[in-house]
Structure 1
Amino acid sequence: MTSPEQPANPFAPPSFATPAPAQPARPAAPAGPSPYAAPSPYAAPVYGPATGAPAFGASPYGAPGTAPFRAPSSRPPQQPDAWRGGFPGPLPEPHRDAPARPERRRGLSFGWAAGLAALALVAGATGGILAPRLLDDGQVADAGLPAAVGTGAGDRAPESVAGVAATVLPSVVSIEVVGAEGTSTGSGLVLRQDGYILTNNHVVESGATAGATTSVLFADGSEEPASIVGRTPEYDIAVLKVERSGLVPLVLGDSDDVLVGDPVIAIGAPLGLEGTVTTGIVSALNRPVSAGSEQETAFINAIQTDAAINPGNSGGPLVNAAGEVVGINSAIAQPPGALSSAGGSIGLGFAITSNQARRTAEQLIETGAATYPIIGVLLDQAYTGEGVQVATEQRGDTPPVTPRGPADRAGIRRGDVIVAIDGRPVTEPDELIVAIRAKTPGDTIVLRVRTGSEERDVRVVLDESAPE
């Protein structure tokens, strides 16, 4: 039999050289909502009411509802991205038995079914252009559309995002801590093949309490109980140990080589979704981030990234295009005025540098504790002038300048103003603290110090804090 004449292809782009042929009139669209406008279960905002306040649960650093970060008013506060259980909003409580994943159903979801039905209606309205033609013998003839040419599953360049993810994912783990305060989840990475795991302190700090249990879920679906080898709130780093050998560790790269604009990939378990990969760039370096409580505050000289980082990414790796770890994802920024202590990604994530993580992890493995460099001064948090001022009065038992400490030996006195460290201006106490914490005890720094109207450069050899 002969096939009916085919109308012009409605999907072909119009030519700007000649007028497009006239098209047959299409039937008027039926009144009422469009079949494409079926409500999506993911369209509703997950951050609560119109105020924009995030709808996450308790703060991992303090009482429920309190902001975990103490940030100066001149920049948006940062908050840890660890995820505590208990969403008051539409997402379920984070637990591996009932993770915060989209519900999986057999067959097609309503949204997809509506979309496919609408596609079928379009095919019918265009005279069967997309429908196959039947030959006399009942066989289906080719509609004439070009076939897709595949390159094969997994055939990706090693330096592509897919190639890097395939290499790194098997060495990224999910961590769950169950304690008296509830369940918290986070991420981590394999540090050594003999079972050492690197993560954030705020992910596992509740695991140090009596009766708490910590477990590590590997990419292959297996799970192992873990013990805490050591942790430090000062750097927000912790090391776990599982009784398993033959693991594939990730390479800790040199974070000093990182430049603004470098592509990076964040991998972890945001909102309990294991094996999630997000991409972005390094958007800033040496970003001062302070986290924790008044008693235990972490000062991080952070790598800032616009890769999507959400609660649960804590402790997971930030890797470069070579698959080397350049940072440990630790915190996200909270918009000014947000009322909740947790929130989602707004394109401002912060990671501990890999060089800092390496030094701290080595100390934790060797001694179970970590130290940090100090100069021996008390800073005036109320000072608002240029630079950072050494306190003029003693606070409790702490003098403004520690006798025979590094600053005292260098000639720094109470009331002096520090305006720069190693040529980099400082305007807030946290900036000076994180710049010093990024060094190693025994390193020499150069401080620009103002006494009255006179300025001078002072060389200071960093001392070491007493182990706790």
Structure 2
Amino acid sequence: MTEQQRDPSGEQTEPVDVARQSPTPGAAGFPPPTGEPYTHLPTAPHRSTQAAPGADQATGTAGMPAPAPGAMPPPGAGQPWASAPAPDPSPWATAPVAFSAWPHAHSADVTAPLPQGAGDPPAGGGTPPPTSAAPGPRASRWSAGTVAVLAAAVLLAALLGGTAGALIATRSSGLTSGGVLPVPQPGSTSRPPGSIAGIAARALPSVVTLKVKGADGQGTGSGFVIKSDGFILTNNHVVSSAAATGSIRVEFSDGSQLPATIVGRDASYDLAVVRVKRTGLPVLPLGSSASVVVGDPVVAVGAPLGLESTVTSGIVSALNRPVTPGGADDAPAFINAIQTDAAINPGNSGGPLLDMSGRVIGVNSAIARIPGSSPLDSGQSGSIGVGFAIPSDQARKTADQLMTTGKASHPVIGVILDTAYEGEGVRIAASSKGGRAPITQGGPADKAGLKPGDVILKFNGRVISDPDQLVVAIRARSVGETVTLTVRRGTTERTVRMTLQAATD
């Protein structure tokens, strides 16, 4: 009977007679093929772990010295070691497969010593390969390739089985421990009165959104209730387009809407009062802007970009900023403004700026914009952290006048300023402009003895550096109030007092 033997290159060699490579009965052992000795996966023979009774531990049964641990039995011994029991007659135990180096196979004595460490018996004794056995028919059919494939298949099956088990365990654990999220405990929505949330909760019912339609289009702004019988304060530039023709609708925080009419407005202060036919409205209290200091926290409420009931927060960044907002069709407004970094955007105009007690300290009116960008509320500009509000002291005074007479009074000192002057302070014009004299006859400045060309250095002790700053400082006062000015004429400086009068035009 023959088998085909394949060399490593995969080519067929001549048939090998298996019978010729089998030992005859009684031979010393099964001779492995010649070539490189056991180099791949040596197979340990079956042995018993208990020594044969009566075995001599010092010498072999034939009177020969016992081999040293790890040594092979001497050639031709044909006897088992002293510590080994009789071999198992099973063909699997007595006929270990010999893995030879490919491709050649020649007869050789199996008792030839192996390279050191390649096939040594286990340390501390053990049973070496049997010296004689009848080869079973299966031994010659196991090749190195077959065993390698089987070993790889076993390893792969173990790996896949372990991975699948881990996945099943993980998924099962996830279903039992992480499948249901914990239910949050009930919480409270109440907030301290002095918190931003507490302030917003009290203020929002009093803040409204104004939807205005006019000849030049439509837009939105903000406002807040100042009297429970329907009076609402806002900016003049929010409602001015509907003054002649158009309509104004007020939307409250609950979503209800009512038409509104203009009670009075003033372009110079950029303030207006409108009214709706409803009573019992919640009023937002007015605070004192005179008590505000830089760094105070503030809250802005309004409808930026039409987003009603929006709340932002910040601080008071500066005071007494001269600002001149106003619509394109209106005369410029002069505001001695509160500056804040609370986000104010188009649509916030007319909304309240609140202190941490929930009182109005300003009316949001303008935002700074980069030169060359579009004006306020044109839809092209947004907050850059520099917003301005009309102080509440000014708003209260002007609102009272608008509700009483429909218009506001403007205090003046009775001079025309030289806007081309670039020196220290501001200078009274040296000659008439537009048919008006530099100093109004009988006015406050005339009575105080001021002359054309005089330079005003301070107003009520505050240094003045440009005309707008002086105008807004005067407009922040009231008609009939006494103020002081520091004036220079030539090289002489002096302080004068005067009483503000109302503008006649």
CA apart distance, 1:350:
0.2
1:369 paired with 2:407, answer: yes
Q: Work out whether residues 132 and 142 of structure 1, in 8 Å CA contact, stay in contact via their aligned partners in 2.
A: no
For 1:175-186, list aligned pairs within 5 A: 175-186=210-221
Counterpart secondary structure, 1:291: coil
Q: Work out whether residues 458 and 486 of structure 2, in 8 Å CA contact, stay in contact via their aligned partners in 1.
A: yes
Counterpart secondary structure, 1:296: coil
CA apart distance, 1:143:
7.4
1:462 maps to amino acid: L
CA distance in 2, matches of 1:197, 1:147: 45
Q: Deviations over 1:357-383 (max 9, x none)?
A: 000000000001111110000000110
| Higher relative contact order (Cα pairs below 8 Å, separated by 6+ residues) | 1
Q: Of the candidates 398, 410, 422, which is equivalent to residue 360 of structure 1?
A: 398
1:160 equivalent in structure 2: 195
1:267 equivalent in structure 2: 301
Q: Work out whether residues 374 and 381 of structure 2, in 8 Å CA contact, stay in contact via their aligned partners in 1.
A: no
Q: TM-score with structure 2 length normalisation?
A: 0.64
CA apart distance, 1:415:
0.3
For 1:7-406, list aligned pairs within 5 A: 133=173, 140-141=176-177, 151-152=187-188, 154-210=189-245, 212-292=246-326, 296-338=331-373, 342-406=380-444
CA apart distance, 1:454:
0.3
Change (3 A) 1:242 1:132: farther
Q: Work out whether residues 200 and 330 of structure 1, in 8 Å CA contact, stay in contact via their aligned partners in 2.
A: yes
CA distance in 1, matches of 2:500, 2:289: 21
2:467 maps to amino acid: P
Q: Deviations over 1:251-305 (max 9, x none)?
A: 0000101010000000000000000000000000000001235961210000000
Q: Work out whether residues 265 and 279 of structure 1, in 8 Å CA contact, stay in contact via their aligned partners in 2.
A: yes
1:187 maps to amino acid: S
CA distance in 2, matches of 1:337, 1:299: 21
Counterpart secondary structure, 2:370: coil
2:354 maps to amino acid: V
Q: Deviations over 1:121-147 (max 9, x none)?
A: xxxxx9899989467xxxx54679887
Q: Work out whether residues 411 and 502 of structure 2, in 8 Å CA contact, stay in contact via their aligned partners in 1.
A: yes
CA distance in 2, matches of 1:352, 1:128: 69
CA distance in 1, matches of 2:375, 2:197: 35
- Uncovered stretches (5+) of structure 2, i.e. residues with no partner: 1-165
For 1:415-430, list aligned pairs within 5 A: 415-430=453-468
Share of identical aligned residues, percent? 55
CA apart distance, 1:393:
1.1
CA distance in 1, matches of 2:169, 2:266: 66
CA apart distance, 1:397:
2.0
Report the RMSD for the aligned CA atoms in angstroms: 2.3
CA distance in 2, matches of 1:163, 1:132: 47
CA apart distance, 1:151:
3.2
Counterpart secondary structure, 1:327: strand
CA apart distance, 1:340:
6.3
Q: Work out whether residues 202 and 358 of structure 2, in 8 Å CA contact, stay in contact via their aligned partners in 1.
A: yes
Counterpart secondary structure, 1:355: helix
CA distance in 2, matches of 1:130, 1:363: 76
CA distance in 1, matches of 2:303, 2:172: 44
Q: Work out whether residues 215 and 242 of structure 2, in 8 Å CA contact, stay in contact via their aligned partners in 1.
A: no
Work out the number of aligned pairs and report it: 336
Q: Work out whether residues 169 and 267 of structure 1, in 8 Å CA contact, stay in contact via their aligned partners in 2.
A: yes
Change (3 A) 1:294 1:200: closer
1:178 maps to amino acid: K
CA distance in 2, matches of 1:337, 1:165: 35
Change (3 A) 1:127 1:410: farther
CA distance in 2, matches of 1:254, 1:131: 65
Q: Deviations over 1:2-37 (max 9, x none)?
A: xxxxxxxxxxxxxxxxxxxxxxxxxxxxxxxxxxxx
Change (3 A) 1:361 1:129: farther
Q: Deviations over 1:438-466 (max 9, x none)?
A: 00011111100000000000111101123
Q: Deviations over 1:388-435 (max 9, x none)?
A: 000011011211000110000001110000011111101000000000
CA distance in 1, matches of 2:346, 2:375: 13
- Uncovered stretches (5+) of structure 1, i.e. residues with no partner: 1-125
Q: Work out whether residues 268 and 317 of structure 1, in 8 Å CA contact, stay in contact via their aligned partners in 2.
A: yes
